[in-house]
Structure 1
Amino acid sequence: MSASDQERDERGTATPDENTAGESGETPEPAEPDEAAAPLDGEEEPERSGLAPWQARRLRIAAASVLMVAAAAVLAVRLASRSSVLVVGVYGLLLILCGIVIELSRRGRTRLGSWVLGAGLVAALAADWVLLP
């Protein structure tokens, strides 16, 4: 091994021998984790707070779906009592917003979907209270 290879080993980069290990059919053994990254004996690993991203996406999709069904039910009840373009407009926009939130959550934009869902629900309730007598 030359001096430059030894320097490369000390820095932690792969040597040519490690790069050609796949040719012989053998898989290289995984590197051991750094001692600095491992927790000390008296310390615990910090626990992750909150949901995993895939859990948050599924939760947001479920919440938007439930809200969509509820908005459709309220729309049907409101249309049975009085048919108005405002009723269809308010609850139709809420249904559209729920669909947008579902699509945003599917694409990984969960925080934006949360804000859109919250703002849309508040706007629909305010419009129902103010616009619809």
Structure 2
Amino acid sequence: MAPSQDDDLEHKQNLALRWATSTTNAERRTMLREDRARTAPQTARHAMVLVGLVLMAGAITGLVKAIGSGASGALIAAFGVAVAVCGVAAELGRRGRTRAAFWAIVLCMLGASLVEALQR
């Protein structure tokens, strides 16, 4: 469960107080390491959502180009599936299932690239 804004603000205030009262650089490095470990999963989720949305935009572009050039149905279907799977991957990333989202994107893009290469 994601921390609320109040919890996040309280954490930042506590961190600032601990930072101001710490005496050694080792204590400060430890505090920074703890804070990075706290935000790492959230950063991974944001990154996976962004990757999913960017790849979805690319797949939509490929789909429009394939439809416009009169490509085969297999290529159009491959790009359509790629758009859907990238959307699912973005949602999986948003929910914290970043590994599943990553592998869904990898397999989908691999399949779309393979179909496109075989069509040429």
Is the shorter-chain TM-score for this pair beyond 0.5, marking a shared fold? yes
Match for 2:43 among 15, 40, 55?
55
- Cα offset for 1:84? 2.7
> Does the Cα contact within 8 Å between 1:60 and 1:110 map onto a contact in 2?
yes
C-alpha distance in structure 1 between counterparts of 2:82 and 2:68, whole Å: 18
Distance 1:81 1:56, change over 3 A: same
Q: Is the 8 A contact 2:48 2:94 kept in 1?
A: no
Runs of 5+ consecutive residues of structure 2 not aligned to the other structure: 1-23
Query: Is 1:64 the counterpart of 2:73 in the alignment?
Result: no
Structure-2 residue corresponding to 1:76:
64
Runs of 4 or more, structure 1, over 4 Å off, are: 41-44
Higher relative contact order (CA 8 A, sep 6+): 2
TM-score, normalisation: structure 1: 0.60
Equivalent residue in structure 2 for 1:100, among 88, 93, 109:
88
Distance (whole Å) between structure 1 residues aligned to residue 42 and residue 101 of structure 2? 14
CA contact (8 A) 1:79 1:87 kept: no
8 A Cα contact 1:68 1:94, kept in partner = yes
Q: Counterpart of 2:109?
A: 121
Structure 2 CA distance for aligned equivalents of residues 64 and 80 of structure 1: 24
Between structures 1 and 2, the one with greater helix share: 2
Amino acid at match of 1:108: G
The alpha-carbon deviation at position 99 of structure 1 amounts to 1.1
TM-aligned CA deviation for residue 53 of structure 1: 0.8
Structure 2 CA distance for partners of 1:85 and 1:55, relative to 1, 3 Å: same
Q: Which 5+ residue runs of structure 1 have no aligned equivalent?
A: 1-40
Structure showing greater Rg: 1
Distance 2:109 2:98 in 1: 16
CA RMSD for the aligned pairs?
2.3
Which whole-Å CA distance do the structure 1 matches of 2:86 and 2:80 have between them?
A: 10
Q: Among 68, 73, 77, which residue is 1:89 paired with?
A: 77
